[in-house]
Amino acid sequence: METETKIDIEKIAKMIFEAKAVEIRDVPEKVTNEEIERLPQEKRPFLYASGNWGPGYVNIKGCVSQTQLFETMIAMLAEKIQTAGVEIDFVAALMTGGVIPGYRLSQLLSVPFVQPVKYTYLEGTRRKETISAKVIDRDKLEKIASTIAADVLGEFPGEEYPFDFVAGVAPSGMVPGFRVAQILREQLEKDIPYVYIREQRKKGGLGELITGVTTNNRRLSQGSSGIVVGGSKDFRRQAMSETGFRLMGDDGYDLRSEDFEIPLNEISAGSRGIAIEELVNFAESIGNATLWLREKGYTVNDAATILSYENPEAIERLKEMGITFHYLFTLAELLKIGKKSQIVQPRLVEEYERFLPNPLGWQAARGLTPIEKGGTL
Q: How confident is the model at residue 249 (pLDDT cuts 50, 70, 90)?
A: confident
Mean pLDDT of all residues belonging to the chain: 92
The per-residue pLDDT for range 166-218, each reduced to its tens digit, is 999 999 999 999 999 999 999 999 999 999 999 998 777 778 999 999 877 66
Contact 98, 106 (CB under 8 A): no
Q: Does the pLDDT value for residue 134 go beyond 50?
A: yes
Q: How confident is the model at residue 156 (pLDDT cuts 50, 70, 90)?
A: confident
Q: Which domains does the chain have, with CATH numbers?
A: 2-58+332-366 (no CATH), 64-137+271-322 (3.40.50.2020), 139-258 (3.40.50.2020)
Instruction: Report the C-alpha gap between 110 and 89 in whole angstroms.
Output: 9
Q: How confident is the model at residue 2 (pLDDT cuts 50, 70, 90)?
A: very low
Q: Does the pLDDT value for residue 160 go beyond 80?
A: no
Instruction: Report the C-alpha gap between 287 and 324 in whole angstroms.
Output: 11
Q: Does the pLDDT value for residue 113 go beyond 70?
A: no
Q: Does the pLDDT value for residue 262 go beyond 90?
A: yes
The per-residue pLDDT for range 35-89, each reduced to its tens digit, is 999 999 999 999 987 788 999 999 999 999 999 999 999 999 999 999 999 999 9
What is residue 203's predicted lDDT score, i.e. its pLDDT? Answer: 73
The per-residue pLDDT for range 329-347, each reduced to its tens digit, is 999 999 999 998 888 899 9
Work out the number of other CB atoms within 10 angstroms of the CB of residue 252: 26
Q: Where are the alpha helices (DSSP H) in 84-171?
A: 99-109, 138-155
Work out the number of other CB atoms within 10 angstroms of the CB of residue 235: 15
Comparing C-alpha atoms, which of 132, 177, 77, 163 is closest to residue 292? 132
pTM: 0.93
